[in-house]
Amino acid sequence: MTELNADSMHRLAKMALDAGEVDSPEEAVALFSRYRLRIHLGHGWADTLAGQASFLTALNTAVRAFLGGVEVYDDLSHVLDVPLYRGRSAREVAKELGAAVVTCTTTELPTLVLGAAPDAAAPAFCVQLGWDHWRFQIAPVGAESALTCVDDNPLAGIGAAALGVNEAFMHVRGDLVEAGHRTVGMSLWNPLAVADWRDDAHKGPPLAYLPKSLWLVGLGHLGQAYAWTLGMLPYPVDGRPHLVLQDFDKAAKSNLSTCLLLWAADLLKPKVRALASRLEAAGFTTSLVERRFGPGHRVMVDEPTTALFGVDNVAARRDLDTAAFAMVVETGLGSGYRDFRNIRLHTFPGPRLPSQIWRAESAAQAEPELNDTYKKLADERKDICGMTLLASRAVATPFVGALAAVLALAEVMRPLHGGLVYAALDVQMRALRHRTGAAPSTYQGLQTAFVQAEKRPVSSTREAA
């Protein structure tokens, strides 16, 4: 058996190694192969693009985290209408994304519910996903104050999916006693509304405008989540966005555990090309930049002036000062097994320049400190360099990236609807009520180019019998 290394190790299973729960990377993967999840699709789940985006995001993030498998049950009789999968059957896509489609449920598995709740007795962990306008939540099935799931904003559907998969993961890991027994939610219209996030004052207006063009810098965990989220939005067929995709790296096996638009067939291919092929198949147009983002970057005439930044590199963040983007939303994630769910977001222009937030002296990377497990592995395998490199890699999972992506896209889209922007925002996904940020302000920069969202109702087409 090939030993797992920094380029092949599953980035979420790595948390067991970092925490000292197991003695080898192989044992970490074996442990995570016990984790399973079920997604129950009840009547009405596919009536909105938000519902379809919620299902697809829950599934795509879950199959990369629950290595024991994800099964989908009940109403899979719909043809999807989100841009990335338009015209394809839910059953076909579920299988393609790696789920087992089942016709009966003989085992009690942690369950996420979209649409109508099941008639049978609910398993011990059974959480309903909900959304309305710019708000989203998860709650135990049968809980009061559920959101209506009527207003069609896919950002909220994706947010609910991210929270649901995270809640299920905390349940199987035993990370939080109350996981699955609490209601958790937030408003993307006002992410700092904590106690009163359900109030209509924070529901936001109907989704009417979408970014026409964007520059995605970095196509790893975060960049792929940005692209995935854009692929769920109600773009008209003749109004798909233009995206500039920038990255210099090739896909490695470890990327399959974090990147929502990479699969095994993409290994060793440049990420920009793999991603471009999928987006172009959905009608997007792309331009490719296959080099590092750095001090020489300049936005040229007719190129997108709004950027979503997903590079975990202090020097690159400092170089945002001179890139001449009109608007940048930068997102960073925690990297350790204790803080990988933490999200920090910055929007520019803001009260401080990027170089003032990320000082030059902070660009130096500290040498990772090896715990006893890594020291033992280094000795056993005679590979101190390999184990040090593995230890330095971040713990990461795409359900965190999905939540970060909707927070970032909300910053771009809120001003298009007359809303405010947040120069800084901190979100702890484990305890969502502990979120903080700068006071919102009116966006003062050049407006992001936009198109009108498609307003026709989703037909919830059924497959041919």
Q: What is residue 203's three-state secondary structure? A: coil
Q: Domain total for the chain?
A: 2
Indicate if 100 and 179 belong to the same structural domain: yes
* Residue whose pair of structure tokens reads 């190694």 in the numeric block: 17
Helix (H, G, I), strand (E, B) or coil at 327: strand
Q: What is the pLDDT of residue 121?
A: 83
**Cα–chain-centroid distance for residue 357?**
24
Residue 224 amino acid letter: Q
CA distance 318 to 354: 5
Alpha carbon 26 to chain centroid, angstroms = 26
Q: Is the domain of 215 the same as that of 187? A: no
CATH (domain of 292)? 3.40.50.720
Q: What is the CATH number of the domain that holds 26?
A: 3.40.50
- The residue written with tokens 């401080």 in the block is 352
| Cα(137)–Cα(187) distance, integer angstroms | 9
- Considering the candidates 126, 149, 259, 385, report the single residue annotated as catalytic: 385
**Before 398, cis peptide (omega within 30)?**
no
The last residue of one of the domains, among 164, 179, 202, is 202
262 shares a domain with 138: no
Q: Which of 156, 182, 202 delimits the end of a domain?
A: 202
Q: Does residue 79 sit in the same domain as residue 163?
A: yes
Domain span at residue 133 reads 14-202
Establish if 462 belongs to a structural domain: no
Write the CB contacts of 204 (distance below 8 Å, at least 6 apart in sequence).
133, 134, 135, 153, 187, 188, 189, 414, 417, 419
Q: Is residue 461 part of a domain?
A: no
Q: How many Å apart are CA 221 and CA 402, to the nearest integer?
A: 9
**Is 458 part of a structural domain of the chain?**
no
Co-location of 169 and 216 in the same domain: no
User: Does 4 reside within a domain?
Assistant: no
Task: Flag whether 2 is in a domain.
Answer: no
In a domain, 177, yes or no: yes
- The span from the CA of 295 to the CA of 74, in Å, is 52
Q: Kindly state whether residues 239 and 321 are assigned to the same domain.
A: yes
Two structure tokens written together for 71: 């099964």
Q: Are 190 and 197 in contact (CB under 8 A)?
A: yes
192 and 260 part of one domain:
no
What pLDDT is stored for residue 1 in this prediction? 46
> Does 283 share its domain with 304?
yes
CA distance 17 to 28: 6
> Which residues sit opposite 36 in a β-bridge?
69
pLDDT at res. 465: 47
Structural domain includes residue 465: no
The answer to whether 246 and 217 are in contact (CB under 8 A) is: yes
Q: Are 174 and 213 in a shared domain?
A: no
User: Cβ(405)–Cβ(394) under 8 Å?
Assistant: no
- Three-class SS of 410-452: HHHHCHHHCCCECCEEEEECCCCCCCEECCCECCCCCCCCEEE
Residues whose CB is less than 8 angstroms from the CB of residue 336 and which lie 6 or more positions away in sequence, other chains included: 18, 394, 395
Of 170, 187, 202, the last residue of a domain is 202
| Residue 409 belongs to a domain | yes
At 457 the pLDDT is 64
Return d(Cα 287, Cα 419) in angstroms, integer.
Answer: 30
Question: pTM higher than 0.85, yes or no?
Answer: yes
Q: In tens digits, what is the pLDDT along the chain, a chain of 465 residues?
A: 467 899 999 999 999 999 999 999 999 999 999 999 999 999 999 999 999 999 999 999 999 999 999 999 999 999 999 999 999 999 999 999 999 999 988 789 999 999 999 888 889 999 999 999 999 999 999 887 778 888 899 999 999 999 999 999 999 999 999 999 999 999 999 999 999 999 999 999 999 999 999 999 999 999 999 999 999 999 999 999 999 999 999 999 999 999 999 999 999 999 999 999 999 999 999 999 999 999 988 898 899 999 999 999 999 999 999 999 999 999 999 999 999 999 999 999 999 999 999 988 776 666 788 999 999 999 999 999 999 999 999 999 999 999 999 999 999 999 999 999 999 999 999 999 999 999 999 999 999 999 999 986 655 577 754
Element (H, E) at 316: helix 314-318
385 carries an active-site annotation: yes
Q: How far apart are the first and last CA of the chain?
A: 45
User: Does residue 423 share a domain with residue 352?
Assistant: yes
Same domain? For 59 and 179 the reply is: yes
Whether the Cβ atoms of residue 280 and residue 265 lie closer than 8 Å to each other: no
Backbone angles phi, psi at 36, to 5 degrees: -135, 160
Q: Are residues 330 and 407 in the same domain?
A: yes
